[in-house]
Amino acid sequence: MYIQVDNANTFIATGGKPFAAHLPTVVLLHGSGTDHRCWALQARWFAFHGYSVFAPDFPAHSLSEGEALTSIELMAAWLVRALDTTKVDKVHLVGHSQGFLVALEAAGLLGDRLKSVTALATASAIPVNPALVEMAQSNPKVAAEMMLQWGFGSPHQYGASSVPGMQPIGIGTRIMANNPLAIDLIACNAYEKGAEKALQLANIGCPSCVILAAQDRMTPKKEGFKLALDLNTAAQVIADSGHMLPMEAPKESLNLMKKFIQSLET
Amino acid sequence: MSKSSYLGADTIALHSGYQPESDHGSRAVPIYQTTSYVFDSVDEASALFNVEQGGHIYSRITNPTVAVLEQRLAALEGGAGAICTASGMSALFVSFFSLCSAGDHIVSAAQIYGSTVTLLKHSLKRFNIDCTFVDINDQQALGAAIQDNTKLVFCESIGNPGLAVSNLPAIAKTAHAQGIPLVVDATFATPYLNNPIEHGADVVVHSVTKWIGGHGVAVGGVVIDGGNFDWLKSGRFPTLTQPYEPFHGMNFWEEFGPAALAMRIRCESMRDIGAAMTPHNAFLLLQGLETLNLRMQQHVSNAQAMVTWLQTQDAVAWVNHPDINAEAHTKALFPKGAGSMLTFGVKGGRDAGAAFINALQLSSNLANVGDSRTLVLHPGSTTHSRLSENDLIAAGIGADLIRVSVGIETLKDIQADFSLGLRAAAKILAQQAEA
């Protein structure tokens, strides 16, 4: 569906069913340079199993218009404004990589509207190599290729796909090369409040779930374990997957996501 | 534009899409000669049917062995996804079927395979899909042929049998300027010689039966979704950008983006038309694909040598191969050589040509190309026999044209065989002179 946020046409994927604010709502937040399609399969499952899905393309990403947001704080504030347009009350925030930094920051803004947070392949801080940022500024296509070469785990480098016949690296490269990757990477690199925000969530008893990838070379799982410690939860690790976890292991990641979120809704 | 893999082409051909399976550690890709796949639960079955998770349901839609070939070909061509089909013609049909509806229009190169001409000119016409044929390298003519209801521009990267090389970057520029995708049949080129997506193509089709399979043992086709075309921005493709009722209103563009066309073909064409590749054929075609690059080197070097040799033979009237007096775009698109097909005519016309073919012992007279063995054919009386005289002229097919798919045999043996044929043709010419 398209909504207006800050006077810009904004695309929100709803998993193939109309958004219904009265249903338990799962907010799926994409990572740097990607878009709602990294959640294509998970979004459909939630939408067809009693949830409303709210998976935005952040401004200037893929199907959304507007100016790219330059900090995690701005992204979090934008997310809350976007949610407000739907009249939705309580939400489960799920974030991949940069998307979880946004979730951490947005959690404080949402207050008691927040039901839970789920982190996928991420950490409380995501430092980015300056050479990658520079490449993303000068040649986004090459930067996207570099990032996905680093981002996907070994099976996908050898052409594996959870969806028969598809090439996730090819799909990801096309999405990333056309989105404001450099701005996202700079925002990730600059965000330093992740650990503090995670501790705050733990202190208020916010339910949390951390799902990590064994072959993650962008946010190594040892950093994910620290995040889980700060959130006062146990991390779960999916084998044979790299940083692009939602696309590399959609079934396995969905199983953990739905088990966690369903446990809070029953 | 973008690579789907960071491995080299030789490695992709051998490894992509498959790593030894966990049950037995089979090094080669196993043949899953199976129709259906057990669901863990009713919930899992429901999720698979509703595209909430990937996996196999029924081999008309997907099959584990076929999927390896699909993923390998998508990686080799640098695409976002691929769908294998029962034949090259069914690959073309599902491509057109997925992009066009009744009342739509296609612009096609005139110099293309005879069965594709009949599909575009007659079969699709029955469904009120029209086609205009143009000289595809005449950008003015191409641009003028595009109408408000045009849905795609089609060409072969190397035309069959005229061997004209399509200037892909120029054609793509003309098509894209009017919001139209370019669909390329790259059968004669193979992924070894040219990757059309890098040069602007949006959809690539192969008859995998030919050089990719390479051994004359299995028929198959593939559609590769290039993933670069913005179907929404074009505004011409409701099949991809508007809700599709039979799949709970799925919007393929919104949900799958760069893989929208591949997913539409998977969800609709494979379900409704069922032109599925068999697992055993996929296995056979994978054996060919694994050595494609090595074979193509020999195919091309033999073809280039045969061109040079034929040009020195007294009985030969003319020789055609794209590398002869190659145009700038041919050199740019085919730096490793423009394929292993050649055509030639013998002095004495059709009768001398028939004598040539009938005298051959090593080369085979049959309706196929891209076998490892050398193949010859007279298109005017076989593959293109259903075309009118005007269509034959438009396709660049004279009555004396002999089509050769140069194999990978020892070069001197092909030349010795052709010498037999040329002697027989010379006799006919002499008889004609006496009469």
Q: Quick one: which of B212, B88, B112, B114 has its CA closest to B163? A: B112
Measured between beta carbons, the chain B residues lying within 8 angstroms of A17 are: 248
Q: Would you call B50 and A163 a contact, using CB atoms and an 8 Å cutoff?
A: no
Clarify whether B400 is annotated catalytic: no
**Mean pLDDT throughout B289-308?**
98
Distance (Å) from the C-alpha of residue A140 to the closest C-alpha of chain B? Answer: 11
pLDDT at B1: 40
As beta bridge partners, residue B375 has: B364, B405
CA dihedral B183, B185, B191, B196 (to 10 degrees): -30
- Residue B369, pLDDT > 90, answer yes
B234 against B5, higher pLDDT: B234
Q: Would you call A159 and B75 a contact, using CB atoms and an 8 Å cutoff?
A: yes
Q: Which amino acid is at B266?
A: R
Per-residue tokens: B361: 């012992």
pTM of this structure:
0.95
Q: Quick one: which of B172, B168, B143 has its CA closest to B157? A: B168
Q: What is the pLDDT of residues B96-128, one digit of tens each?
A: 999 999 999 999 999 999 999 999 999 999 999
Q: Under CATH, which architecture does the A2-126+190-265 domain have?
A: 3-Layer(aba) Sandwich (3.40)
pLDDT lower than 70: segments of chain A? none
- Residue B47, pLDDT > 60, answer yes
Clarify whether B37 is annotated catalytic: no
Question: Model confidence at B393, in pLDDT bands (50, 70, 90)?
Answer: confident
Question: Model confidence at B383, in pLDDT bands (50, 70, 90)?
Answer: confident
B239 against B380, higher pLDDT: B239
Restricting to A residues 15-44, those with a Cβ less than 8 Å away from any Cβ of B are 16-17, 35, 37, 40-44
- Residue B4, pLDDT > 80, answer no
Q: Would you call B52 and A62 a contact, using CB atoms and an 8 Å cutoff?
A: no
Domains annotated on chain B, with CATH: 9-288 (3.40.640.10), 294-434 (3.90.1150.10)
DSSP category for residue A58: P
Residue A240, chain B, CB below 8 Å: the answer is: no
Question: Model confidence at B32, in pLDDT bands (50, 70, 90)?
Answer: very high
Q: Is the dihedral of CA B117, B177, B163, B305 positive or negative?
A: negative
pLDDT at B390: 79
Out of B1, B7, B62, closest to residue A165 by CB: B62
Question: CA dist B8 to A16, A157, B77, Å?
Answer: 38, 11, 12
**Mean pLDDT throughout B298-316?**
98
- Report d(CA B85, CA B75) in Å as an integer: 17
Task: List the Cα angle A27/B262/A171 in 5-degree steps.
Answer: 55
- Report d(CA B292, CA B380) in Å as an integer: 30
- Report d(CA A111, CA A200) in Å as an integer: 11
Helix (H, G, I), strand (E, B) or coil at B377: strand
What's the 3-state SS for B11-22?
Answer: HHHHHCCCCCCC
* Helix pair angle (B411-434, B349-359), 10° resolution: 140
Helix (H, G, I), strand (E, B) or coil at A151: helix
> At B292, which helix (H) or strand (E)?
helix B292-310
Measured between beta carbons, the chain A residues lying within 8 angstroms of B66 are: 164
- Report d(CA B424, CA B350) in Å as an integer: 13
- Residue B5, pLDDT > 70, answer no
Q: Are A120 and A144 in contact (CB under 8 A)?
A: no
Q: Is the dihedral of CA B327, B332, B337, B338 positive or negative?
A: negative
- Residue B2, pLDDT > 60, answer no
Residue in this structure with the two tokens 């996905």, named with its chain if needed? A148
pLDDT at B387: 72
- The torsion region of residue A264 among left (phi > 0), alpha (psi -120 to 50) and beta comes to alpha
As beta bridge partners, residue A210 has: A119, A235
Residue A157, chain B, CB below 8 Å: the answer is: yes
Range from A7-11, A86-90, B200-204, B290-294 carrying the lowest mean pLDDT: A86-90
CA dihedral B220, B225, B231, B233 (to 10 degrees): -150
Clarify whether B60 is annotated catalytic: yes
Q: Where are the alpha helices (DSSP H) in A178-220?
A: 181-190, 194-203
Clarify whether B72 is annotated catalytic: no
Q: Are B321 and B338 in contact (CB under 8 A)?
A: yes
- Report d(CA A194, CA A109) in Å as an integer: 14
DSSP category for residue B164: P
Q: Which residues of B152-183 are buried (b: 16+ CB within 10 A; e: fewer)?
A: bbbbbbbbbbbbbbbbbbbbbebbbebbbbbb
Per-residue tokens: B142: 């191409």
Question: CA dist A162 to B83, B235, B345, Å?
Answer: 15, 30, 51
Q: Where do the structural domains in chain A lie, given as residue ranges?
A: 2-126+190-265
pLDDT at B329: 97
Residue A175, chain B, CB below 8 Å: the answer is: yes
Q: Is the dihedral of CA B299, B300, B302, B308 positive or negative?
A: positive
The chain-wide mean pLDDT, for chain B, equals 94
Out of B10, B37, B58, B60, the active site residue is B60
B353 against B223, higher pLDDT: B223
ipTM of the complex: 0.93
- Residue B202, pLDDT > 50, answer yes
